[in-house]
Amino acid sequence: MLPYILNTVRSNANAFCNISKCCECFLVHLLTVFSIITVKDITHGSDVLVKKLTDLGCSVYEDNTGEQIGGNAGNIYAVLEGSLEGSILFSSHMDRVANGFGIKPKCCGSRIVSDGTTILAADDISGIAAILDGLRRIKASGSPHPRIEVLFTVCEEVLVTGSRYLDYSRFQSKIAFVLDSPGRIGRIINGAPYKAQLIFEVKGQPSHAGNAPEKGINAVVTSAKVLSRIRDGRLSPSSTANWASFEAKGPSNVVNAYAIVSGEVRSATSEELYAYVEEFRKVCADVAQETGAEIIPQVNFNYEGFLIEESRPSICLMKKVFEKMQIPVIIERGGGGMDANRLNTNGIEAIGLATGYAQNHSSSEYIEKDDLIRSGEMVENIILTREY
Ligand SMILES: [Zn+2]
């Protein structure tokens, strides 16, 4: 299958003008890692990557996260030993969001796009392609290098779940680069929010809606009372909340007795996140007391946030890399969680790096070809800059 698709890609090289190794790797993975139908179902893709890493001279280990999350592949750790001191970690995720099956990539000016019926999955196959291309470049150049650690995670797109199960003691690196961010190459994500999922269940009292409505406690109306008293949307410059799901079902002749509502809160600071969680719990308690309904709030803390100061080694290194590559640098906080959140929580300084894609998670997703090509060069330059 793989050689056949490689030949197909190569024979269509005109359509993908000036195809580079990095571009080729990206396209091959788009087309071959096609069993990524769901975020947990990535067996075929992970097997391809294990082989590629092994062929590059890495020792490769796959953990049992698949079993723990009900998926069929684990996180992949790879190490390319080097002759120089130091260690550096690169990471991307193997899963993709829904509608990532049967992708038909094509060139559209300076960009690679899908045919408009699926996502492109540049998030995050482009990161994987760039890391593999960086390793290939290092091997081809024969340059001495330090220990290079590679991490390809599963189930990142569902609450950054795969990296929750990592064995962080396997890593020797003190800094990590997570190639998993939208934007042009040169964009550095130095922060990401804390996040919690919020759920409340309302247990009311059923009663005949026509004969005895006063004996009932309406769970739908009670839920609406909670929602009307709790803030939503932009909470502050650094915090947001989003109430996204409201489920209740019942015939109109019975006072509704059950509803479940869920949402999320994100914040750049743990203080604001915890303050909103307390506000949520208080509103639930107040409305329960007023209405007589049972309201059960549930808070699932998904991940911790991070903020890497510009003076930190990972960012100083990237400034040097981009100066050498003559690429303008943009340093921004991101609005979503990523594997860098968990790496930072576990003591590894990690930042996000863009690889040129945009409008990810939609059928309008695209990637700038030049950025994709230069992302492999970026990985090579990070390794060669050697300040870690
Ligand atoms: Zn991603």
CB 123 within 8 A of CB 99: no
User: Six-digit token pair at 6?
Assistant: 């490689």
- The reported pLDDT for the residue numbered 262 is 98
165 pLDDT more than 60: yes
CA of 338 to the centre of ligand 1 (A): 7
CA of 179 to the centre of ligand 1 (A): 8
Q: Which of 124-128, 300-304, 345-349 has the lowest mean pLDDT?
A: 124-128
The CATH class given to the 194-303 domain equals: alpha beta
Mean pLDDT of the 14-38 span: 52
Q: Which of 70-74, 116-120, 232-236, 375-379 has the lowest mean pLDDT?
A: 70-74
- As a whole-number percent, the residues of the chain with pLDDT over 70 amount to 88
- The reported pLDDT for the residue numbered 29 is 60
227 pLDDT more than 60: yes
- The reported pLDDT for the residue numbered 240 is 96
CA of 119 to the centre of ligand 1 (A): 12
- The reported pLDDT for the residue numbered 1 is 31
CA of 180 to the centre of ligand 1 (A): 5
- The reported pLDDT for the residue numbered 43 is 57
Spatial separation of the C-alpha atoms in residues 176 and 378, rounded to whole Å: 14
The CATH number fitting domain 2-192+305-385, selected from 3.30.70.260, 3.40.630.10, 3.30.420.40, 3.40.50.300? 3.40.630.10
CA of 213 to the centre of ligand 1 (A): 50
Mean pLDDT of the 256-264 span: 98
- The reported pLDDT for the residue numbered 388 is 59
25 pLDDT more than 80: no
CA of 155 to the centre of ligand 1 (A): 10
> How many C-beta atoms lie closer than 10 Å to residue 87's C-beta?
18
Q: Which of 48-57, 145-154, 343-352 has the lowest mean pLDDT?
A: 48-57
- The reported pLDDT for the residue numbered 360 is 92
Q: What angle do CA 91, 345, 87 make, to 5 degrees?
A: 45
Mean pLDDT of the 23-32 span: 60
CA of 94 to the centre of ligand 1 (A): 9
Residues of the chain with CATH 3.30.70.360: 194-303
Spatial separation of the C-alpha atoms in residues 31 and 13, rounded to whole Å: 15
- As a whole-number percent, the residues of the chain with pLDDT over 90 amount to 73
- The reported pLDDT for the residue numbered 16 is 45
Residues of the chain with CATH 3.40.630.10: 2-192+305-385
pLDDT, the chain, mean: 89
Amino acid at residue number 139: K
Q: Which residues pair with 66 in a beta bridge?
A: none
- The reported pLDDT for the residue numbered 31 is 52
Residues labelled as active-site residues: 95, 156
CB 139 within 8 A of CB 57: yes
